[in-house]
Structure 1
C-alpha cells in the first residue's frame, strides 16, 4: 500500500487491506485511532509490535513512525485527532479496549459521508471519551535491542511449537541464564515466561484469524494442552480462542 493512501488530509478514512499487505514505515502529523472493522491489524514500531483484534483499537501518537500489517482481508478505519483531542490518550503507541459505543462511533464516523461536521465532531468526542477511559491492553510485544537477546528471541519465534526453557536457550546461545533473565526484564519489562506467553497469544491471534482450529493453534504455539491455551489467551484478549475465531469469521 502506498503511503499516499494514508495521507491524513481528512479527519477520518476507511481502507481495505489484502491479507499480509503491509505499509512502508511512515508518520503522521496528527495522532490517530486505528480500528479493524473486519480482519485484524498489527501496529509495528521500532519499539515492538501491537496487535489489534476487533475488540481493540490501536492508538498512534502524532509523529510516531510505524507501519501496519493486515492479517486476513482487513477493513481498516482511521480517525485522526487534533492535539487537543488527543491529550487524554497515552503518550506512546498503545492498544485500548473498544466498547460497543466506541465501535459504533468509529463505524459511523468512517462510513456515512453525509453527516455534518458538528455531528462528526460529537462522534469523535464520544469515541475519545470511551477509549480514554479504557485501560491499556497487554497486547504489546516489545522488540529487544540487545543483540544477545535478539538471538534468543529469533530462536523462540522460529519454532514456537517446540518450547525451550531459558536454561536451554542459554546453552544454545552461550549467554548465561542469569544474564538472559536480566535482559528480558530490562528490555521487555517481562520475565521470559510472561514474554513467551505474549508471543504465543500474538501468534495465536494470527493463526485463528487464518481459520486454524483452536487445537491446532495451541499446538503450533507451544501450549501443552488446549485448556492451557484458553487459560493464557482469554485474559489478554478478552475472548476465548473459540469465540475470537468465530468473531473473526463473521468479520
Structure 2
C-alpha cells in the first residue's frame, strides 16, 4: 500500500519569542513533499487540517490523519512528509512554557474543535508592534488546550538494531495483518527467536503488539482518506470487518467508529503495551 511519495521541500515557521510565545503558520501541499531532519529550540504542534502528514523521529514514526496532531518537544530532531493535497498547521510554542505529555518527546494528540478554531483565528489575527490583549488571551487558551489533550496511540516505535529495523520497515512498506514474523524473518535472514528477543529488548513489546499498533496507525491514515471500514479491513488483510473491529477495540477500548471519529472525545482505555 503506497501512501508516501517523498520530494524535498521547505517550510518556514517564524520562531516564537518571549514577547510573542506562539507562532502559527500553514502549509498547503499541492505535491507530496518532504522536509528533511531538523530541530528547533521551541516546541511544535503540527496538525493536519486535511490529508495525511507523517512525522519521523529517531525512534518513532507518526502517521497523522486529519484533525490530529503531533506534539514535538524542543530540540527533538524530526522529519516531515506530506501526502499530495495535505494541509498542515504548524504551531510553534516558546520553550519557556512547560508542556509535557507522557514520557516521550513526541506523540499524537486529537485536536479539539476549540484548539482548531484558535489556531485558525491566530493565523489571520493582525499583529501590531506589541501583542494585543486579544492575542495574549488566545495564546493562553491554546496552551491550556494543548496541555489538557490526551495522547493517542498512533506513534509507531522504531528500533535501532539494523536487522529489526529492516524487518519493521518491510512491514511498513506492506502493512498486512496476515504478514507473520516468520515470513519477515525469512526476508531479513534472521531467526524468529532472535527477532522475538530483539522486539522485547528494543521495543518492550511482542511482534504481534507492534504489528497491531502499526495496523491501527495505517487504518487511521486510510480513514482520513474517507475509506469505509470494510475497505480498510480488506486493505489491511483482515478476513472480515468484524475481525478488524475486534483488533481496534482490544487495542484502544472502543470500536473504530468511535476511535477514528474526529468529533469523538479523546478519552479511551488503552489495553495494549503502547510505545513508550
TM-score range relative to shorter protein: 0.7 to 0.9
What residue in structure 1 maps to residue 268 of structure 2? none
Contact 1:208 1:241 in 2 (8 A): no
The CA deviation string for residues 141-161 of structure 1, in whole angstroms up to 9 with x for no partner, is 112111221232233234333
- Give the TM-score normalised by the residue count of structure 1: 0.81
Aligned residue pair count: 246
What residue in structure 1 maps to residue 99 of structure 2? 88
Residues 61 and 39 of structure 1: CA distance in aligned 2, closer, same or farther (over 3 Å): same
Q: CA deviation at 1:196?
A: 0.7
Q: 1:57 aligns with which of 69, 74, 93?
A: 69
Q: CA deviation at 1:243?
A: 8.8
Q: Distance in 1 between matches of 2:78 and 2:191?
A: 33
Q: Select between 235-244 and 19-28 the one with higher mean Cα deviation.
A: 235-244
Q: Distance in 1 between matches of 2:89 and 2:11?
A: 16
Q: 2:22 aligned with 1:42, yes or no?
A: no
Gaps of 5+ in 2: 1-7, 264-276
Q: Distance in 2 between matches of 1:162 and 1:32?
A: 33
Q: Distance in 2 between matches of 1:241 and 1:70?
A: 25
Q: CA deviation at 1:174?
A: 4.5
What secondary structure is seen at the aligned counterpart in 2 of 1:59? strand
Q: CA deviation at 1:140?
A: 0.7
Contact 1:30 1:62 in 2 (8 A): yes
What secondary structure is seen at the aligned counterpart in 1 of 2:152? coil
Q: 1:8 aligns with which of 10, 15, 30?
A: 15
What residue in structure 2 maps to residue 106 of structure 1? 119
Q: 1:145 aligns with which of 146, 153, 160?
A: 160
Q: Distance in 2 between matches of 1:37 and 1:159?
A: 26
Please identify which structure carries the higher helix content.
Answer: 1
- Give the TM-score normalised by the residue count of structure 2: 0.75
The CA deviation string for residues 206-248 of structure 1, in whole angstroms up to 9 with x for no partner, is 333345443232222122321222343466597836995999x
Residues 134 and 5 of structure 1: CA distance in aligned 2, closer, same or farther (over 3 Å): closer
Contact 2:47 2:111 in 1 (8 A): no
Q: 2:256 aligned with 1:240, yes or no?
A: yes
Contact 1:170 1:177 in 2 (8 A): yes
Q: Distance in 2 between matches of 1:26 and 1:218?
A: 35
What residue in structure 2 maps to residue 203 of structure 1? 218
Give the root-mean-square deviation of aligned CA atoms. Answer: 3.1
Q: Distance in 2 between matches of 1:81 and 1:50?
A: 20
Written as runs of structure 1 = structure 2, the 5 A alignment for 1:152-231 is: 152-161=167-176, 163-171=178-186, 173-231=188-246
What residue in structure 2 maps to residue 136 of structure 1? 151
What secondary structure is seen at the aligned counterpart in 2 of 1:24? strand
Q: CA deviation at 1:202?
A: 2.2
Q: 2:82 aligned with 1:70, yes or no?
A: yes
Q: Select between 233-242 and 53-62 the one with higher mean Cα deviation.
A: 233-242
Contact 1:160 1:221 in 2 (8 A): yes
